[in-house]
Amino acid sequence: MHDEDREAMNPAPAETLPERFKPRLLREPSLQITPLGGLGEIGMNMMVYRWDNDAIVVDCGGLLPDPSLLGIDLVLPDYAYLHPHRDKIRALILTHGHEDHIGGTPYFLRDFKIPVYGTRFTIELVKSKIEEHPHLADIDYHVIEPDDAIVIGPFHVTFLHVNHSISQTVSLAIDTPEGLVVHTGDFRIDSTPTDGRVFDYEGFAQVGRRGVLALLSDSTNVDRPGYSQSEKDVARELDALIHRARGRVLVSLFASSIPRIQEVVNVAKRYGRKVHVAGNRLVAATQIARGLGLLRIDPSMLIDVDQVEMLPPEKVMVIMTGSQGEPRSVLSRVALDDHKQIRVREGDVVIFSARVIPGHERTINNLINHLSLRGAEVYFERTHKVHTSGHGHAGELATMLNLVRPHYFIPIHGEYYHLIKHGRLAVDCGVPPERVLIAHNGDTVQFADGQGALVGRTPVGRVYVDGRGVGDVSPEEIRERRKIAETGLVLVLLVIRQATGEILYGPELMSRGFVFEQVSKELMEDAKKAVLTSLESFSIEMIANLEEVKEEVRTTLRRFFNRALNRKPVVIPVVMEM
C-alpha cells in the first residue's frame, strides 16, 4: 500500500484522540477492524476487517426509524470512508438474513461491485430485496453452508452454525495473517431448537483450542441473567393460548422468523384452523422458506384473504406483519379498523410473537389499546411467553467466552451500556481487563505481533433513506422536520415590484399545525401589520435583495408570535419579484 493510501484510509493520528486510544502499533501491515454500525446502538450492523490492500465487510444492516425520524423509511450506516478504496474491498459476508444485518445491502452494492457470501436462505432474502432495485444486476452470489471454509485474499473464513431467531445463521472464524478472530454475529444457544439444529459446541471448542486472538461477540442481552428460553417453550405457550381461543387468532411476528412461523402453522393444523398469510414481506419470506424446504405447510391449509371473514372464527388463523407497529403494516391497519378484508371482532385473539425494538414501545402500546377496545384478547412478551429472544443471555455469552478463550475481547451489537457490561463479564470469565477493548462506531482496533489497541477514529454517521432518496436528507433537515411537527409552520407569501419596492400582494399568511386562521383572524392580521411595519424602513436596494427580505420577515414573525403566544413556529417566507 502506498503511504498516501495508508494515510487516507487510516483514522486520525493518536495525538488528536482521547486517552482510551493508544499510538499505532509499529509494524505494518497489520490487522485493522473498524465497526461502521452496531456499536452503541441496536441495529445497523456493519464491520470492516482489513489487512494491507485487502478488506472484507461483515454484514450491512439497516435500522428501522423511530417515530422521531419523521418521513424516514430506513437508516443506513455511513460507509463513505470506504469509497476512495473500493478496489480494496474483496467481499461482503452476511451472517444471517435479519434487516439489521442485510437491510443496507442493496444500497451498498450500488457502490461496491463485490461478491456476496451467505447461507442459502440469507442469499434468497437478499435477492428478494435486490428485486426492488432494478438498476442492480449481475450480483455475484456465493452460497455457503456451516462448516464450509473459503479464502478471500489473506482471510480464511470458516462458518459455524449458531441458533438465532432466523434460519441458517452462522458465526465466522476468520484466519488472518495476524491470528484467528471469531465474529459471532447474533447468536443464542438452544439445546432443544424446533428445527433440530443445535449450537455447534464442538466447532467453537476446536477454534478455542487453536488459540483465538480476538472474539467479537453479540452483547444485546448481556443484562439478562441466566439462559434464554427455548423455542420449544414458546411453542408450548402458543399451543395453550391458541387451544383456548374461541375466535380467530391473529399472530404478528417478524417475516424472517421461519422456525416460529412453522410452530404457529403446526398449532393451527393441530386445532383445525386454516391459515392466511398477510403482508408482502411475510409472503415473500414464507415462499422462499417453503422453496428451500425450511417451512412445511400443507397447501390445503392456506386460504385467501376473502375467506378470513367467510369461515367460522374458530377455524381461522392469520399470520401477519406489523409486530413493531409499522405504519400501514397489516396489523396497524387491522388495529385501526382500516383493513378492507380483516376486521377485529369480539373474542378474537391477537398475539405479538416478537420482541419490541427499542423506540417502538409507545406505538405498540397504542396498537394494543386499539385492539383491546375492539374486543380482542391481546397477548405479548411482557405478559406471556409468546416470544424468546434470538440473542443469548449472560449465561450463553459466558459459555461463548469459555469455549473460545480469546486473548482479546471486543463486545459488539449493543448500546454502550451493553458493551461495557459484556466487557465486565469477559473479565469475570478470565480475560484481563487491559485486553477488553470497548470500541465505538468509527474506531479502529489494530493488531500487530499479538498486541491489540484502539488506535484511531474515522468519522461515521447515519444515512437516511426517504422514498427513493438516499443520503439527501441531512440531520439538520431531520431536526427541521421535528421542529415543524412540534411548533407548527407559518408560510408567508409576498410579491414585490422590483423597481420601486412596492408590495403588490401580501403578506398572505397560511398556518399549518400552529393556529387555525379562521379562529385567530385578529392575531394573523396583527402579524401581517408587523411584517409591513418592519419592511417600511427598507430602502429600494434592500427590498431588491430577496434574501434580506426573507430574513426580515422570518425574524419579525418569530418575534411577534413569541411575544403574543410564547411560541416559535417555523416561518417560511416566499418572496417573489415582478
Q: Are strands 406-412 and 212-218 parallel, antiparallel or unpaired?
A: parallel
Question: What is the pLDDT, as a whole number, of residue 488?
Answer: 79
Q: Average pLDDT for residues 476-480, to the nearest whole number?
A: 67
pLDDT at 541 over 70: no
Question: What is the pLDDT, as a whole number, of residue 349?
Answer: 96
Question: What is the pLDDT, as a whole number, of residue 66?
Answer: 59
The DSSP string of 36-91 is: EESBSBSS--EEEEEETTEEEEE----BPPPTTSTT--EEEE--GGGGGGGGGEEE
Question: What is the pLDDT, as a whole number, of residue 423?
Answer: 97
Strand order through the sheet with 212-218: 149-152, 155-162, 169-176, 179-183, 212-218, 406-412
C-alpha cell recorded at residue 545: 435583495
Q: Average pLDDT for residues 244-248, to the nearest whole number?
A: 94
Question: What is the pLDDT, as a whole number, of residue 293?
Answer: 94
Question: What is the pLDDT, as a whole number, of residue 555?
Answer: 86
Q: Average pLDDT for residues 458-471, to the nearest whole number?
A: 72
Question: What is the pLDDT, as a whole number, of residue 569?
Answer: 82
C-alpha cell recorded at residue 307: 375467506
- DSSP H helices in 353-499: 361-373, 394-404, 416-428, 475-487
**Cα 529–533–537 angle (5° rounding)?**
165
pLDDT at 518 over 70: no
**CA-derived radius of gyration, the chain:** 28
Could you give the CA distance from residue 328 to residue 361 in angstroms, rounded to a whole number? 17
Matching residue, cell 469455549:
403
Q: In one letter, which amino acid is 263?
A: E
Residues 131-146 have pLDDT tens digits of 888 788 889 999 999 9
Strand partners, 351: 251, 379
Question: What is the pLDDT, as a whole number, of residue 493?
Answer: 87
Question: What is the pLDDT, as a whole number, of residue 517?
Answer: 55
Phi-psi region of 473 (alpha: psi -120 to 50; beta: other; left: phi over 0): beta
Q: For the chain, report the end-to-end CA distance as a whole number of angstroms.
A: 60
C-alpha cell recorded at residue 4: 498516501
pLDDT at 558 over 80: yes
Q: Average pLDDT for residues 368-386, to the nearest whole number?
A: 92
Residues 19-41 have pLDDT tens digits of 788 888 878 899 999 999 999 99
Give the number of other Cβ atoms within 10 Å of residue 86's Cβ.
12
Question: Of 361, 360, 378, which is closest to residue 369 (Cα–Cα)?
Answer: 378
Element (H, E) at 564: helix 546-565
Phi-psi region of 38 (alpha: psi -120 to 50; beta: other; left: phi over 0): left
pLDDT band of residue 53 (cuts 50, 70, 90) is very high
pLDDT at 257 over 60: yes
Matching residue, cell 376473502:
306
Question: What is the pLDDT, as a whole number, of residue 8?
Answer: 43
Matching residue, cell 451472517:
95
CA 339 to chain centre: 27
Q: Average pLDDT for residues 170-196, to the nearest whole number?
A: 94
Q: Average pLDDT for residues 244-267, to the nearest whole number?
A: 94
Could you give the CA distance from residue 249 to residue 548 in angstroms, rounded to a whole number? 62
Sign of CA pseudo-dihedral 202, 203, 206, 208 = negative
Question: What is the pLDDT, as a whole number, of residue 16?
Answer: 61
Question: What is the pLDDT, as a whole number, of residue 146?
Answer: 95
Threshold 0.75, pTM exceeds = yes
C-alpha cell recorded at residue 76: 443506513
Residues 311-331 have pLDDT tens digits of 999 999 999 998 888 877 899
Question: What is the pLDDT, as a whole number, of residue 192?
Answer: 86
The set of catalytic residues is 218, 391
> Which domains, ranges and CATH numbers included, belong to the chain?
3-15+25-226+389-461 (3.60.15.10), 233-379 (3.40.50.10710), 475-577 (3.10.20.580)
Could you give the CA distance from residue 176 to residue 156 in angstroms, rounded to a whole number? 7
Question: Of 97, 90, 58, 95, which is closest to residue 77 (Cα–Cα)?
Answer: 58
Question: What is the pLDDT, as a whole number, of residue 458?
Answer: 87
Mean pLDDT (the chain, rounded): 88
Which segments of 94-226 are extended strands (E)? Answer: 116-118, 141-143, 149-152, 155-162, 169-176, 179-183, 212-218
